[in-house]
Amino acid sequence: MARGVGSGFGLSDLPRIAYGRGSYLYDQAGNAYLDGSGGPAVFCLGHAHPEVNSAIAAQLDSIAYAYRYLFTSAALESLSEAVLRLAGGCFKDVLYSADGSEAVESALKIALQYFAARGLMKKRRFIARHRSWHGNTLGALSVSGFAARRRAFEGSLLDVIFVSAANAYRPPRDCEPDALVEYLAAELEGSILEAGPETVAAFIYEPIVGAAGGVVPAPPGYAAAVAAVCRKYDVLVIADEVMCGAGRSGTWRALEHDGVAPDIMTVAKGLAGGYIPLGATLVAPQVAAPISSDHGAYMTGHTFSGHTAACAAALAVQRIIERDRLLERVRQVGASFQESVRRSLARFEEVGDVRGRGFFIGVEFVRDRKTRVPFAADRGLSFDIGQRAFADGLICYPCSGNVDGITGDTIILAPPYNARDAELEEIIVKLTRAVSGALAAG
């Protein structure tokens, strides 16, 4: 059976999954696939972890889900306590949802509710960055600078202000590389002033951009600089850590690396490790206080918010990560893994940049390493590499459009935190082989 790749293929073209074990997936034809990207950076403990499965089964044996407006649960309470502690004590409340899009949607609503509670009803607008991705709901899509995914819905999206991406490899044309942080902070301040500070509710960004940029960490000092600008004008900071958080970058909060705490933060993917869908929105005390005082409760949520079995799954995932000191492994091994990827791909002139943090690595491909000119969009290089890797038994995450919304090719690697050294080496070998084959094909 020929192996395909999901992007651009119909369901009939996809192999049928049979089971997963650890870092590998197996289809019904007997083919094995090393999950080098954790799907879309979700599977932080791999597949079929016996302790997580046992925790889910035990919860199902008692009750699968108790409606959040009627009951609390031990799973929900224990998970909330763990999340608030792992987040470093920066937040007061955790609101659960089913995925990252819903978590971002709640973050936007909480920001608006916060200013409503303070009687500042003109603060309704959001600022976001180009080359960003925050989700598929209309609100989350509105604050996403991802042209290809927005195009079909233009005209029904929120009126959002966009500022430049924080990308040291591709800085704005009129910006000197060593002045990037100052340039971006000034641009944000200028955008707030132009819109009117009395109208701007929040600035939302990914500390490490995922699919929209191909793993782009903001330059050192950026997080603190934009937070200072936002504080100056009474604008909330929303950190979208759906993809880069929950330990993916080596710290539980990605912004912990930068020494910055946002007002509102979203997390999902690695929270429950893909075992049961779960997202969360974390709210700082200074945001929670006026909402609690004026409204009494957050005006956001869904039927399955705080799903009991999902909370049990996430609690098991987080306990295993903490017990087995996997974030230490991600920090320590991640640096050497990234360097090994860089060395293995260095012989290809078309590899322009290898970047990231922890077990979150992006590779950007260019026609010319010196000028950084991207390949033509119709070449589909990243998806060619992804298909070749998949045919060879490696799952990676191809992305396109990171340069201007149309051109630009990147590959994301995001292996499970507990991936073995031999599995990390296999990822590098098979990715290198796929890159070689795709580039040789012209």
Q: Is the residue at 387 inside a domain?
A: yes
Are 357 and 257 in contact by the 8 Å Cβ rule? The answer is yes
What one-character DSSP code corresponds to residue 156? S
Residue 6 in any domain: the answer is no
Pick from 353, 380, 393, 369: which is nearest to 442 by CA?
A: 380
3-state helix, strand, coil in the chain (%, to 5): 40, 20, 40
Residue 128, helix vs strand vs coil: strand
Q: Are residues 205 and 102 in the same domain?
A: yes
Which of 280, 308, 323 is a domain's end point?
A: 323
| Weakest mean pLDDT among 11-25, 41-55, 309-323, 359-373 | 11-25
Cα–Cα dist 54/422, whole Å? 27
Domain count, the chain: 2
pLDDT band at 7 (very low <50, low <70, confident <90, very high): very low
**Residue 57 belongs to a domain:** no
* Assigned domain for 296 exists: yes
Is the confidence at residue 405, as pLDDT, over 80? yes
CATH classification at residue 351: 3.90.1150.10
Partners of residue 397 on adjacent β-strands: 412
pLDDT of residue 12: 65
Give the pLDDT score at 442.
Answer: 81
Query: Same structural domain for residues 140 and 202?
Result: yes
Pick from 293, 323, 353: which residue ends a domain? 323
Are 220 and 295 in the same domain? yes
Long-range contacts from 137-145, C-beta under 8 angstroms, 24+ separation: 137/101, 137/102, 137/104, 137/105, 139/104, 139/105, 139/108, 139/109, 140/101, 140/104, 140/105, 140/108, 143/104, 143/108, 143/204, 144/212, 145/212, 145/405
Asked if residue 54 belongs to a domain, the reply is no
364 is a domain residue? yes
Q: Residue 5: which pLDDT band, with cuts at 50, 70 and 90?
A: very low
In tens, the pLDDT along 333-352 reads 999 999 999 999 999 999 99
Q: Are residues 300 and 389 in the same domain?
A: no
Whether residue 263 is contained in a domain is answered as: yes
Residues 348 and 293 in one domain: no
Band of the pLDDT at 177, cuts 50, 70, 90?
Answer: confident
Mean pLDDT of the chain: 96
Phi-psi region at 218: left, alpha or beta (left = phi > 0; alpha = psi -120 to 50): beta
Q: Is the pLDDT confidence value at 10 over 60?
A: no
- The residue written with tokens 């409606």 in the block is 67
End position of a domain, from candidates 260, 293, 323:
323
In tens, the pLDDT along 363-389 reads 999 999 999 999 999 999 999 999 999
Write down the pLDDT at residue 8: 47
For residues 88 and 245, give the distance between their C-alpha atoms in angstroms, rounded to a whole number.
Answer: 13
Band of pLDDT at residue 2, cut at 50, 70 and 90 = very low
Q: Tens digits of per-residue pLDDT, 23-72? A: 999 999 999 999 999 999 999 999 999 999 999 999 999 999 999 889 99
Instruction: Tell me the CATH number at 80.
Output: 3.40.640.10
The answer to whether residues 97 and 219 belong to one domain is yes
Residue 96 or 148, more confident:
96
Q: Is the pTM above the cut of 0.85?
A: yes
Given a cut of 80, whether residue 159 has pLDDT beyond it is: yes
Same domain, 191 and 303: yes
What is the percent of the chain where pLDDT is above 70? 97
Question: In this structure, are 142 and 289 located in the same domain?
Answer: yes
Q: Is the pLDDT of residue 93 over 80?
A: yes
pLDDT score at 55: 98
Whether residue 146 sits in one domain with residue 199:
yes
Residue-level pLDDT at 77: 98
Q: Residue 193: inside a domain, yes or no?
A: yes
pLDDT for 11: 58
Q: Do residue 329 and residue 230 come from a single domain?
A: no
Q: Both 248 and 310 in a single domain?
A: yes
Nearest CA-CA partner of 212 in 102, 129, 99: 129
Q: 289 is in which domain, residue-wise? A: 63-323
